[in-house]
Amino acid sequence: MTDLFSSFRLGGLKLSNRMVMAPLTRNRAPGGTPNALMAEYYSQRAGAGLIISEGSQISDQGIGYPATPGIHSEEQVQGWKPITGAVHAKGGHIFVQLWHCGRISHPDFHDGELPVAPSAVRPEGQAFTNTGLQDFVTPRELALDEIPGIVEQYRHAAATAMQAGFDGVEIHSANGYLIDQFLRDDSNRRSDAYGGSVENRVRLLLEVSKAVCAEIGADKVGVRISPVNAFNDMHDSDPQALFNHVATALSELKVAYLHVVEVSMAGEVDHAVDMQQLRRCFAGAYIANGSYDKVRGNAAIASGAADMVAYGTAYLANPDLSKRFLRDAPLNTPDQSTFYGGDAHGYTDYPSLGSD
């Protein structure tokens, strides 16, 4: 029977199991450069069939939080190399998540300039800045002639990721960041070729995906979406139609996987979405995420609802999650107070099972 512990062929990679470590921002890269502590953290979790790195900004313009790593400079390449090397040395695989935060940022990160977005629509809520929480500002609407430059940032970051030794990239099109801001009609009020109809709102994601696929090969590219996630003040009037279109268009580009956050991380959902419709629209691998445990994960794979299952907080707190699932061992409890920022405590000191 196929389950979480069955191997999986993803593009050219043979993954040892179907458990994915979900992308988890941990704010432990001061200055944006990955470091030795991060190498230890990821290497501890190399038993996952696939690790998706924390969101990593593709440019200085893409930053939205303190101490997040980047994937666009030579120094960052040198910082990532020991991380990808350590994961590979343990037989694991790792993709980097390409991140542009758009309006979920603050002028403090941009020398006082406004963050950019599809439209000048201020999200409700507050930004995490280097000096604490501050209200979100109304972002600056990107001019039409700036959009090719955004696509180029993603292409460049994908090329940089290959130099850093990643097995592939995940385009972050979820959770209210720049590409998601283009997708959903509450944050995108444009009247040009990038706003209005579903086709227009999906255009940026497809241009980015095409550029990244042309750079590194579609078999090394995944896309993450979150059709019902209200986190970061996101809303859409018809997410089923929007995301069915996204899944169909990405299928035509032959990207390796579609990674779907199936839950809302904040607030009530505006409209229910049938995730299995997305699965049927998409020919590649489907990674399910959101409040899965071992039983639900195995059931999703056995029924064919998903090819792989991504675990977020469970991987954060259990470096050897696949081993624990296999043995039905108890799980460590995640400590929320150490999620974002800090040192090794709550990061690399969650215990593993004995090596017996």
Q: Is 290 in the site for ligand FMN (CB under 6 A)?
A: yes
The site string for ligand FMN over 201-240 (x = CB under 6 A, - otherwise) reads: -----------------------x----------------
Contact letters for ligand FMN, residues 244-283 (x by CB under 6 A): -----------------x----------------------
Work out which of 109, 286, 311, 350 binds ligand FMN, going by CB under 6 A: 311
The CA–CA distances, whole Å, from 152 to 26, 165, 177, 308 equal: 26, 20, 17, 30
74-89 vs 147-163: helix axis angle to the nearest 10?
50
Which is nearer to ligand FMN, 59 or 195 (by Cβ)? 59
How far is it, in rounded angstroms, from Cα 50 to Cα 37? 20
**CB 50 within 8 Å of CB 4:** no
Binding to ligand FMN (CB under 6 A) within 44-103 occurs at 54-55, 97
Residue nearest to ligand FMN (CB): 312
Considering the rule CB under 6 A, would residue 127 count as an interface residue with ligand FMN? no
CB-side neighbour CA atoms (13 Å) of 150:
27
CB 309 to ligand FMN: min, Å: 9
Answer yes or no whether residue 147 interacts with ligand FMN by CB under 6 A: no
Using rule CB under 6 A, residue 172 touches ligand FMN: yes
| Backbone phi, psi, residue 336, to 5° | -60, -25
Single-letter amino acid code for the residue at 113 = E
Q: Which of 66, 312, 319, 346 binds ligand FMN (CB under 6 A)?
A: 312
Residue type, 284: G
Among residues 42, 154, 177, 257, the one annotated as catalytic is 177
CA-to-CA distance for 69 and 80, rounded, in angstroms? 9
Count of other CB atoms within 10 angstroms of residue 121: 16
* Measured distance CA(71)–CA(167) in Å, rounded: 14
| Closer residue to ligand FMN, CB minimum distance, 187 or 195 | 187
Instruction: Let me know if 177 is a catalytic residue.
Output: yes
Pick the closer one to ligand FMN by CB: 118 or 290. Answer: 290
**Separation between Cα atoms, residue 207 and residue 220, nearest integer Å:** 16
Taking contact as CB under 6 A, which single stretch among the options 19-27, 88-96, 273-281, 296-304 is the one that binds ligand FMN?
19-27
Residue closer to ligand FMN (CB basis): 195 or 314:
314
Looking only at Cα atoms, what is the longest distance across the chain? 62
Nearest CA among 64, 228, 226 for reference residue 137: 64
Q: Which residues bind ligand FMN (CB under 6 A)?
A: 22-25, 54-55, 97, 172, 174-175, 224, 261, 289-292, 311-314, 339
